[in-house]
A and B are shown apart, each in its own frame.
Chain A
Amino acid sequence: SQTIHQWPATLVQPVGSPLSLECTVEGTSNPNLYWYRQAAGRGLQLLFYSVGIGQISSEVPQNLSASRPQDRQFILSSKKLLLSDSGFYLCAWSVHRGFDTEAFFGQGTRLTVV
């Protein structure tokens, strides 16, 4: 069966520090991968999605970037964190055919920038 791992679960970082959140998927190949951010009262916002290695699409302009160095690995990064980057970050995957398929979510990372 497929599983998705996301770490760390919680993170407290000072303003201006770098960030690296990692997500890996097991049990499937060539998945579509997604990073979402959840802010209180604002639902989930899609930040990045990837349909293959090295292929990253950004949905919103922001202080963050994403990379996909391997087929089942998706990394969310920042060179210098801002207070506004605080939130709950969720990684997700879906099968590559793209339609009639749901997204499967990791357990999330609670990021607090202080």
Chain B
Amino acid sequence: AQSVTQPDIHITVSEGASLELRCNYSYGATPYLFWYVQSPGQGLQLLLKYFSGDTLVQGIKGFEAEFKRSQSSFNLRKPSVHWSDAAEYFCAVGALTGGGNKLTFGTGTQLKVEL
């Protein structure tokens, strides 16, 4: 069965600083990988996804992530964080099952941005 580990529960960065959120996955085949962001009390919004091809993927809001098969990682990065980026971030791996793409999520990383 697939699994996702987000080792950092909380991260605090200063506005304007760079950001990297870690994600490691376990999956027996080629993974479909996602990063979602959740604002308090809200649903999840997709930031970016990786299915195949270029291992560096660009997403919305200036985020990018790099797939590294050798490290089973899919870390999320942003060169300069804005105060509005404060939210919870979830990494997920998708697996096909009975025609559906079932997502397994990590436990999330809460990002705090200091002004």
A41 adjacent to B42 (CB under 8 Å) = no
Residue among B6, B46, B104 making CB contact with A102, cutoff 8 Å: B46
Interface stretch of the complex, out of A12-20, A61-69, A71-79, A93-101: A93-101
B28: Cβ under 8 A from any A Cβ: no
B60: Cβ under 8 A from any A Cβ: no
Q: What range describes how many residues of A lie at the interface?
A: 20 to 34
Q: A41-B9, A43-B107, A43-B108 are in contact. Are A99 and B43 (CB under 8 A)?
A: no
Beyond the given pairs A32-B100, A98-B101, A105-B44, 8 more chain A to chain B contacts, judged by CB atoms under 8 angstroms and listed by A's residue number, are: A44-B44, A45-B105, A46-B104, A51-B99, A90-B44, A98-B99, A105-B43, A105-B45
Residues on A lying within 8 angstroms of B by beta carbon are 6, 32, 34, 36, 41-46, 49-51, 57, 59, 90, 92, 94, 96, 98-108, 110
